[in-house]
């Protein structure tokens, strides 16, 4: 298997200079800076499929 190619990076260093006019982006950049990992009780682990 070939190794995964890395996409055009938007580097950490660059993100420091991102304009913070978007609240959602500012929040995400903060999380990336803190290397936030999801907790098992956090919202983001349940949603993979509908109950259907």
Q: Where along the sequence are the contacts to other proteins (CB under 8 A)? A: 1-2, 4-12, 14-15, 17-19, 21-25, 27-29, 31-32, 35-52
Q: How far is the CB of 34 from other proteins (least distance, A)?
A: 9
Nearest CA among 16, 46, 8 for reference residue 32: 16
Q: How far is the CB of 30 from other proteins (least distance, A)?
A: 10
Q: How far is the CB of 29 from other proteins (least distance, A)?
A: 6
Please classify residue 13 by burial: count the beta carbons closer than 10 Å to its beta carbon, then call 0-12 exposed, 13-18 middle and 19+ buried.
exposed
């Amino acid at each position: 298997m070939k190794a995964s190619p890395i996409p055009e990076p938007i580097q950490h260093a660059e993100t420091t200079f991102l304009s913070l006019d978007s609240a959602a982006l500012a929040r995400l950049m903060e999380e990336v800076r803190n290397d936030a990992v999801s907790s098992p009780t956090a919202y983001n682990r349940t949603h993979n499929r509908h109950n259907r």
